[in-house]
């Protein structure tokens, strides 16, 4: 009987052992949850040849846009957790959408992060000819004119939206948030005078040069691209806002597969040329493991859940 139990235990371990030795044995699909040609697609296309060279298989890229990424993440969690389907993921999107919507199509816990490889901090941006020269100017006007300051964002329940709600509470003011279907429409709206200010990422405001003015950035320390730009923290507001980009797989994917994917993505994230290119574009390169990403998700969820609950009642 003891021999039979031992044999059974060995058989249970066999698939994992085989996976560790042979994975990957076929193509790994890399899903992008936004439209072709956007930032997520560009990043994946840059990673694709390096991943293929390291993993020894093809990495076909496919698209599932819609719902601010939720359609793609709902697709991700339905896939077989075998290491052969992965998807780009964005934080805070994968946290906020299930918190705010009953029909998001997925739960955050159903997504296993593999890596977070970059971060784009946000701040408040106005046009160069705006009467708001400083954040204090903007707040003074907003306090005297509740709801009259229109501030654009990239969507609903994304990084810009949650930053906006947090800042309203911190500053004790009321703005009017204007959601857009992505970064480009948000930028066009500000430049066309349809919004008075907007939540721009560093990579969004850099291309416009002197046409825009940034009032504050939501980081711990000044950003390298704009070292003289005040942080919200330096002005008395503990506001930190950024979108994190990474890759995830369905929960239940074998640890050996996750480790193999993470190792490949980590090598790319730590490549000096890749890091230099990102910094030039206003993107902060990071290399956060899956375990570190899960800790970040847990911490952010604790902070954001009460805010979402308040504004969705």
pLDDT in tens, 244-284: 999 999 999 999 999 999 999 999 999 999 999 999 888 99
Calpha distance 86→308 (Å, rounded)? 28
Share of residues in the chain with pLDDT > 70 (%):
93
**What's residue 276's pLDDT?**
94
Give me the residues paired with residue 87 across strands: 31, 248
- The CATH 3.40.190.10 domain(s) of the chain lie at 121-235
Calpha distance 180→178 (Å, rounded)? 7
**What's residue 182's pLDDT?**
84
Structure token pair of residue 288: 């956060």
Classified as helix, coil or strand, 40 is helix
**What's residue 20's pLDDT?**
52
Q: What is the DSSP string of 257-296?
A: HHHHHHHHHHHHHT-HHHHHHHHHTT-EEEEEEHHHHHHH
Q: Cβ of 46: how many Cβ atoms within 10 Å?
A: 13
Give me the residue label for tokens 């601010």: 68
Contact (CB, 8 A) for 146 and 174 = yes
Classified as helix, coil or strand, 19 is helix
Of 73, 44, 74, 22, whose CA–CA distance to 260 is shortest? Answer: 22
Quick one: average pLDDT of 189-218? 96
Quick one: average pLDDT of 150-170? 95
Of 209, 238, 215, 240, whose CA–CA distance to 228 is shortest? Answer: 215
Where does the chain have alpha helices with state H?
2-22, 39-55, 70-76, 93-100, 135-144, 159-171, 183-191, 202-205, 255-269, 272-280, 290-312
pLDDT at 9 over 50: no
In tens, the pLDDT along 15-59 reads 444 455 689 999 999 999 998 988 899 999 999 999 999 999 999
The per-type count for the chain, helices as H runs and strands as E runs, is 11, 10
Average pLDDT, the chain: 92
**What's residue 3's pLDDT?**
42
Comparison of pLDDT for 175 and 184, the residue scoring more: 175
**What's residue 17's pLDDT?**
44
Classified as helix, coil or strand, 217 is strand
**What's residue 224's pLDDT?**
87
Q: Which helix (H) or strand (E) holds 59?
A: none
Give me the residue label for tokens 């970064």: 183
Query: Residue 235: which pLDDT band, with cuts at 50, 70 and 90?
Result: very high
CATH number of this structure's domain 121-235, picked from the four choices 3.40.50.1100, 3.30.470.20, 3.40.50.150, 3.40.190.10: 3.40.190.10
Q: How many residues does the chain have?
A: 313
Q: Cβ of 108: how many Cβ atoms within 10 Å?
A: 24
**What's residue 24's pLDDT?**
98
Domain formed by 26-117+244-312, architecture? 3-Layer(aba) Sandwich (3.40)
- The CATH 3.40.190.150 domain(s) of the chain lie at 26-117+244-312
Contact (CB, 8 A) for 120 and 282 = yes
Question: 53-75: buried (b, 16+ CB within 10 Å) or exposed (e) per residue?
Answer: ebbeeebebebbbebbbbbbbbb
**What's residue 312's pLDDT?**
87
Classified as helix, coil or strand, 108 is helix
């Amino acid at each position: 009987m003891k021999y039979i139990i031992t044999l059974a235990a060995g058989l249970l371990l066999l698939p994992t052992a085989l996976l560790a030795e042979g994975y990957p044995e076929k193509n790994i699909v890399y899903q992008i949850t936004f439209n072709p040609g956007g930032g997520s697609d560009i990043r994946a296309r840059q990673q694709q040849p390096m991943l293929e060279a390291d993993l020894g298989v093809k990495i076909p890229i496919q698209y599932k846009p819609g719902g601010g990424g939720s359609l793609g993440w709902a697709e991700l969690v339905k896939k077989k957790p075998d290491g052969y389907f992965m998807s780009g993921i964005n934080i805070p999107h994968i946290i906020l959408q299930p918190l705010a919507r009953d029909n998001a199509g997925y739960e955050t816990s159903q997504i296993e992060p593999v890596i977070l490889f970059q971060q784009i901090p946000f701040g408040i941006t106005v046009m160069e000819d705006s009467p708001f020269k400083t954040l204090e100017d903007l707040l003074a006007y907003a306090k005297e004119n509740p709801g009259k300051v229109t501030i654009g964002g990239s969507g609903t329940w994304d990084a810009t939206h949650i930053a906006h709600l947090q800042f309203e509470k911190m500053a004790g003011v009321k703005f009017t948030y204007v959601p857009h279907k992505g970064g480009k429409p948000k930028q066009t709206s500000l430049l066309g005078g349809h919004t008075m200010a907007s939540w721009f990422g560093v990579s969004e405001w850099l291309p416009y040069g002197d046409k825009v003015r940034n009032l504050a950035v939501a980081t711990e320390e000044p950003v390298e691209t704009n070292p003289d730009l005040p942080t919200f923290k330096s002005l008395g507001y503990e506001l930190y806002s950024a979108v994190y980009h990474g890759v995830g797989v369905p929960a239940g994917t074998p640890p050996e597969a996750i480790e193999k994917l993470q190792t490949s993505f980590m090598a790319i994230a730590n490549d000096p040329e890749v890091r230099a290119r990102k910094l030039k574009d206003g993107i902060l390169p990071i290399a956060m493991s899956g375990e570190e990403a899960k800790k970040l998700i847990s911490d952010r969820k604790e902070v954001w859940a009460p805010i979402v609950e308040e504004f969705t009642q």
